[in-house]
Amino acid sequence: MTAVTEFAVAAFIVIGAAFLFVGSLGLATLPDTMRRLHAPTKATTLGIGALLIASMLYFVLLNGSLGIHEILITLFLFLTAPATALMIAKAYIFRHRATQKQLPPSANETGWATLTKPR
Amino acid sequence: MRKRFIPHPLLTCVLALVWVLLVNDFSLANFVFGLLLGLAVAKLTSIYRPERSKIRNPLAIAEYFAVVLWDILVSNVQVAYLILFRRGDSLKSTFITVPLALTHPEAIATLAGTITMTPGTVSADLSADGRSLLVHCLDTDDPDATVSAIKSRYESRLSRIFE
């Protein structure tokens, strides 16, 4: 590996670590659950993404083989992060009376799925 | 007959492809095993997916992918900025209602996932009749503008792909 590629790999690792740190910081410092939910779903995605790009780059340059697993990790992350966030939000709305009062009405006034009995 | 044993051909193909990629070994045996797995999983879960989803426009998927990837990049930087340089309680967070024009469950699930991954919004709930989404905004001055941005940027593209 030349100095340039090593620098590129290192840069991606540092960028990834920085975004992961910011995501965790947001999770710790934002004031309520709904706002906290924004930090791990977004800042963390780019952090992991940058780390995976670094890993792919490193292994391509080291043994010339493209890692497919990194792409799959990204795919699974994009599939699971929104599902987890949705379940946490639903649980929070279900348990938190003050939040339930703030909710806007749904489009056809049928109410939100978490708060209505299934028919 | 075909519908009974292969309820979701597309799902089966995707599962087979993911299996081959997971094993990271492109041999025929692996591909056949992946196909069998895909068939079994599609059959076992078909009770939860009564309708077969149709993809009308494969080119539109590529466009949608590019748009969403770019937005994920932008949203990450925006949210990182908000976390680092704004006090948490000064953020104008609010819930908004996004009325849906989409009807396919897959299309709505994709839209909800996209909303969560992109600038300052997390989808929090679906209405009981499935016709609107509850979305939480991290920091917004104009909730109506956010709703119309979601509808014009993502929903219109998804409706071109799915319906």
State whether residue A33 sits within 8 Å of chain B by CB: no
When pLDDT is averaged across residues B8-19 and rounded to a whole number, the result is 83
- Tokens matching residue B45: 């879960």
- Give the residues across from B132 on adjacent strands: B99
Contact B129 A42 (CB under 8 A): no
Residue A14: band (very low, low, confident or very high) from pLDDT cuts 50, 70, 90 = very high
Residue A78: band (very low, low, confident or very high) from pLDDT cuts 50, 70, 90 = confident
Q: Where in the sequence is the domain holding A14, given as residue range(s)?
A: 3-115
At B58-106, the pLDDT tens digits run 788 888 888 888 888 887 888 888 888 887 677 778 888 888 888 888 8
Residue A11: band (very low, low, confident or very high) from pLDDT cuts 50, 70, 90 = very high
Distance CA A82, CA A60 (A): 30
Task: Name the residue of chain B whose CA is nearest to A34's CA.
Answer: B136
Contact B76 A39 (CB under 8 A): no
Number of domains in chain A: 1
Q: Is B98 helix (H, G, I), strand (E, B) or coil?
A: strand
Residue B161: band (very low, low, confident or very high) from pLDDT cuts 50, 70, 90 = confident
Q: Which residues of B touch A37 (CB under 8 A)?
A: 122, 136
Q: Which residues of A touch B72 (CB under 8 A)?
A: 42, 45-46
Distance CA A36, CA B80 (A): 12
Instruction: Tell me if A90 sits within 8 A of A68, measured CB to CB.
Output: no
Q: In what side-by-side order are the strands of the sheet with B121-126? A: B94-99, B132-137, B121-126
Q: Which residues of B touch A77 (CB under 8 A)?
A: none
Q: Does pLDDT of B117 surpass 80?
A: yes
At B28-39, the pLDDT tens digits run 888 888 888 888
Closest-CA residue to B45 (of B1, B11, B20): B11
Contact A37 B122 (CB under 8 A): yes
Question: How is residue B155 annotated by DSSP?
Answer: I
Phi, psi of A117, rounded to the nearest 5 degrees: -75, 140
Q: Give how far B1 is from chain A: nearest CA, Å.
A: 32
Mutate to test the interface with A, among B73, B134, B137 (most CBs of A within 10 A): B134
State residue A85's pLDDT score: 87
Contact A43 B22 (CB under 8 A): no
When pLDDT is averaged across residues A76-98 and rounded to a whole number, the result is 85
Q: What element of type H or E holds A10?
A: helix A3-29
Contact A45 B134 (CB under 8 A): no
Give the ipTM.
0.79
Which residues does A3 contact at the CB level (< 8 Å), separation at least 6?
none
Instruction: Tell me if B155 sits within 8 A of B111, measured CB to CB.
Output: yes
Higher-pLDDT residue of A66 and A86 is A86
Instruction: Tell me if B109 sits within 8 A of B162, measured CB to CB.
Output: no
Mean pLDDT score across all residues of chain B = 81
- For chain B, list the domains and their CATH numbers: 2-48 (no CATH), 58-162 (3.30.70)
When pLDDT is averaged across residues B126-144 and rounded to a whole number, the result is 82
Instruction: Tell me if A103 sits within 8 A of A34, measured CB to CB.
Output: no
Contact B18 A72 (CB under 8 A): yes
